[in-house]
Amino acid sequence: MLYEAMELSELIQVFKRKVVIEDTAILIVWLNDQVYAIKDRCTHFGASLSKGTIDQNKVTCNSHGASFDLATGQLIHKPHIGPLKMPAKDTKTFPTVIKEGKIYIDL
Ligand code: FES
């Protein structure tokens, strides 16, 4: 089902934004002229990915460095404390649709 998330022009200005739709926190990112929507919860200890860093095609969690592919949700780098790597898993992404200047997310 499609849910209206925000205006595309607003996302282009702010680059990233956290929204909550149907109790699901989602990070929306404008990158390389595309919109990405990824679950805003790190699969390691649940930190908000919207507080993380966007770099090329991924978002990196600020807590322990886990990074996820914005398009697929695939875990790219495992979380770590110093040299100690820790387990985490892939996360969820959501299809987006742009219609009449608004971003819709398919939940
Ligand atoms: S909570 Fe995200 S890397 Fe630990």
Q: CATH number, domain at 22?
A: 2.102.10.10
CA dihedral over 54, 57, 59, 65, signed as positive or negative: negative
Q: What tens digit of pLDDT does each residue of 5-50 get?
A: 999 999 999 999 999 999 999 999 999 999 999 999 999 999 999 9
pLDDT at 13: 97
pLDDT at 97: 97
Q: What tens digit of pLDDT does each residue of 68-104 get?
A: 999 999 999 999 999 999 999 999 999 999 999 999 9
pLDDT at 43: 98
What is the number of structural domains in the chain? 1
Task: Calculate how far, in angstroms, residue 98's C-alpha sits from the geometric centre of ligand 1.
Answer: 31
Q: Which atom of ligand 1 is nearest to the CA of 46?
A: 1
The residue to mutate among 39, 43, 45, having the most atoms of ligand 1 within 8 angstroms of its beta carbon, is: 45
Full domain range(s) for residue 58: 2-106
Residue 66 in 3-state DSSP? coil
pLDDT at 11: 98
pLDDT at 52: 97
DSSP-derived pairing of the beta strands 75-77 and 67-69: antiparallel
pLDDT at 103: 98
Count helices and strands in the chain by DSSP H and E runs: 1, 12
Give the residue carrying structure tokens 């919109």: 35
Distance of CA 19 to the CA centre of its chain: 10
pLDDT at 37: 98
| CA-proximal residue: ligand 1, atom 1 (nearest) | 45
